[in-house]
Amino acid sequence: MFILGSPEELNNRLSMKDRLTFGKAGDGLVVAEIDNPHATASICLQGGHVTAWQPKSAAQPVVWLSKLAKFAPGKSIRGGAPVCWPWFGAHATEVGFPGHGYARTVPWAVTQAVSLADDATQITLELINSDQTRALWSHPCKLSLEVVVGRTLKLTLTTGNLGDDAFVISEALHTYLQIGDIAQTRVLGLEGCEFLDKTVAADGVRRRQEGPVTFTEETDRIYLNTTTDCVIEDTQLARRIRIAKSGSRSTVVWTPWTEKADKMGDFGPDGWRTMVCVESANALENAVTIPGHGSHSMSVEYSLEN
Ligand code: TA6
């Protein structure tokens, strides 16, 4: 059941003292602001898009958001945890279809919001299907995102197949993590994994990861058949961000580096130096077949380690 309305109406209907309040951002997008004893977080209803998470114990945000991020109807937001669904990357056959699917740029609604016994905040959002979405994806389906904001941030993306026929999705929680300096950052956990290199120069070559992932140039890799945790080791901020996932067999690691970031135009001055994407996904041969009347969930939990 969608809980719809203006921010004022949502505040009245979902009043959770001052732990969850709704307001507007940018060109009128509705944003949920969470402030509980463990952390603060922000979620834009469009796209079911977590745009901020910072534990109260942390000096810096954990989720990165561009200083030039646009909050505009139908536009993707640079940063946060974009929901890439029901396909990852370019559509397999339709060049005019949006990259990374449509979920991140269409309206979603709140279906539940509660305070948990441990003082974490749990809010569930659901994509609002429409003629616009059905024109891109005609399968009867339901997409929901459960967000738990506490000492950790846990996201669970669930696809429900409401029809009789199976369908195949690829997906990602395309999360931008805040770091001190990409050049002083390593990603552990992918050692020995096969990856497809998506940079233009690599022309889709597949290689195997040797040692931790380090960064000296644009890096855009889909690691396949991996279910392990990743750890972002941030020397400058003297912290580690653990990314623990389930229901995901691919991990995407991306930094645009300077030239691509400049071309994209919404990273802000040198913004690319302070972010890295480590995306929990199911892509390429890890795409997921969901049987008729079946469902599939992909979960990821982010936590800080000093
Ligand atoms: O996940 C990495 C990637 O596929 C890159 O190739 C780059 O396109 C990035 O996603 C951002 O895509 P976006 O559509 O959000 O600008």
Position 17 pLDDT exceeds 90:
no
Residue 62 beta carbon below 6 angstroms from any ligand 1 atom: no
Q: Active-site residue among 38, 49, 100, 174?
A: 174
Residue 89 beta carbon below 6 angstroms from any ligand 1 atom: yes
pLDDT at 2: 86
Confidence of residue 304 (pLDDT cuts 50, 70, 90): very high
- Read off the pLDDT of each residue in 112-120 and give the average, rounded to a whole number: 96
Residue 197 forms part of a structural domain: yes
Q: Are 281 and 170 in contact (CB under 8 A)?
A: yes
**Could you give the percent of the chain with pLDDT greater than 70?**
100
Pocket test for ligand 1, best of 254, 260, 263, 275 (most atoms within 8 A of CB): 254
Full domain range(s) for residue 182? 7-305
Among protein residues, the one with the nearest Cα to ligand 1's atom 9 is 254
Ligand 1 center–CA 32 separation, angstroms: 25
Compute the half-sphere exposure of residue 306: CA atoms within 13 Å on the CB side of its CA.
4
Confidence of residue 209 (pLDDT cuts 50, 70, 90): very high
Overall number of domains in the chain: 1
174 in catalytic set: yes
pLDDT at 93: 96
Ligand 1 center–CA 100 separation, angstroms: 8
Q: CATH number, domain at 256? A: 2.70.98.10
Residue 174 beta carbon below 6 angstroms from any ligand 1 atom: yes
Mean pLDDT of the chain: 97
Ligand 1 center–CA 220 separation, angstroms: 9
pLDDT at 269: 86
Q: Are 103 and 127 in contact (CB under 8 A)?
A: yes
Buried b (16+ CB within 10 A) or exposed e, 259-282: ebbeeeebbbeebbbbbbbbbbbb
pTM above 0.95, yes or no: yes
Ligand 1 center–CA 28 separation, angstroms: 25
91 in catalytic set: no
How far apart are the two ends of the chain, measured CA to CA in Å?
Answer: 40
Residue 2 forms part of a structural domain: no
Residue 1 forms part of a structural domain: no
